[in-house]
Amino acid sequence: MKNLSIRVKITLWFAIALVIVVSLTYAVILSISNKVFQKTIKDNLMNTVENNIDEVEYFSNINEDDLLDNDDYFISYGNGFIEVEDDFLEVVNQVYTALYDSSLTLLYGENPIAKSTSSVRLKESVIQTITIGRVTYYIFDRALPQDGLEGLWLRGVVAETQGKEEVSSIARLSLILLPILVLFAIIGGYLIARKALRPIKQISEAASQIGKGDDLKRRIIIGEGTDELHQLADNFNQMFIRLERFFEKEQQFTSDVSHELRTPMSVIMAQCEYSLEKERTAEEYETALSVIQRQARKMSGLINDMLDFTRLNMKTDRYTFESFDLRCLSSKLSHFI
């Protein structure tokens, strides 16, 4: 990890976090989808049974013409007849509805697990479950409320596996789409990280070229912007400006000092050459030495000034600063004037 670039580290961290989030999302989707589909199956079961209640009626007697001209189904029951209208939905969306009497004798309709559910007692408006093999079925019973239909029940049956195909489809689709989404997100994150960190590389290259080439006039140019990287580039440019001014002042100072030292040195060298050309009188030697001494003192004073200036720039504790009121000095000068 230490040898990886920041761009790769950011992308790797982003990829790991995204994979975790997508995995949790996938698990949540499957969990919620299964619960939603099971609730939908139960609601569909209850609605189908409730709708079929209105399709069953009782008649104490009927005409033969009604039997011939009617598409409804008639069942002899008690002292009359049960009419099951043609709108009665025996099977819809894999929900089976059948008509039973109180002894669980099948009178009309379909029930694919009639034998297995014969031991399940009739319960009003309650969803019961029964497992046959590895399949769970939901059972919903409703007593018929119409007159003459006492003791008759509608029983609806639906398999829990009805929603598993939809859940499996969602799972398969999620397994295809989510990895593709993760891949695109990782690629996009890498490209964004590379673009966002590109100014850092430009700053590093510019600083390296300035350091190697001693070109303090060079500046870091990364375009317009107000983010942290642009602020960093601006700070570097301000630092280079200050360094440039400092070195220019240093060069100017060195040039000025060289010029100031050249004059006394030239005088000293001239006096030495003049004295050594031939023998001089004592007065001439004394005059030459006086000139040399005067120029040496001048050089010594200049060197001391240079040392004092250097110590001031180094911010040593050699010099103590005190406050001074310039108004006192101005009043004295005005008095002399």
Q: What angle do CA 253, 255, 260 make, to 5 degrees?
A: 95
Residue type, 271: Q
Q: What does the alpha-carbon distance between residue 139 and residue 42 come to, in Å, rounded to a whole number?
A: 9
pLDDT band at 336 (very low <50, low <70, confident <90, very high): low
Identify whether the C-beta of residue 141 lies closer than 8 Å to the C-beta of residue 99: no
Band of the pLDDT at 314, cuts 50, 70, 90?
Answer: low
The per-residue pLDDT for 329 is 65
What is residue 187's predicted lDDT score, i.e. its pLDDT? 84
pLDDT at site 47: 92
Give the domain 216-315 fold.
Answer: Helix Hairpins (1.10.287)
What's the pLDDT at 97? 92
- Which pLDDT does position 155 carry in this prediction? 93
Rg (CA), the chain: 52
Q: What's the predicted TM-score (pTM) here?
A: 0.48
pLDDT bucket at 154, cuts 50 / 70 / 90: very high
What's residue 315's pLDDT? 61
Residues in the chain: 337
What is the per-residue pLDDT for 151?
87
Q: Give residue-wise pLDDT tens across range 199-252.
A: 777 777 777 777 776 666 777 777 777 777 778 778 878 887 887 788 788 788
Helix (H, G, I), strand (E, B) or coil at 4: coil
Question: Does the pLDDT value for residue 49 go beyond 80?
Answer: yes
Q: What is the DSSP secondary-structure string of 262-281?
A: HHHHHHHHHHHHHHHHS---
Give which of 79, 130, 120, 129 is closest to 100, Cα–Cα.
Answer: 120
- Which helix or strand (DSSP H or E) is residue 249 part of? helix 228-277
- Predicted local distance difference test score (pLDDT) of residue 228: 76
% the chain with pLDDT above 70 = 86
Q: What tens digit of pLDDT does each residue of 51-101 get?
A: 988 888 888 877 665 655 567 788 888 788 888 888 888 888 788 999 998
Identify whether the C-beta of residue 55 lies closer than 8 Å to the C-beta of residue 42. Answer: no
Q: Look up residue 51 and give its amino acid.
A: N
Determine the pLDDT at residue 318: 57
Locate the domains of the chain by residue range: 6-170, 216-315
Q: How far apart are CA 115 and CA 126, in angstroms?
A: 20
213 vs 128, which has greater pLDDT?
Answer: 128
Mean pLDDT, the chain, whole residue set: 80
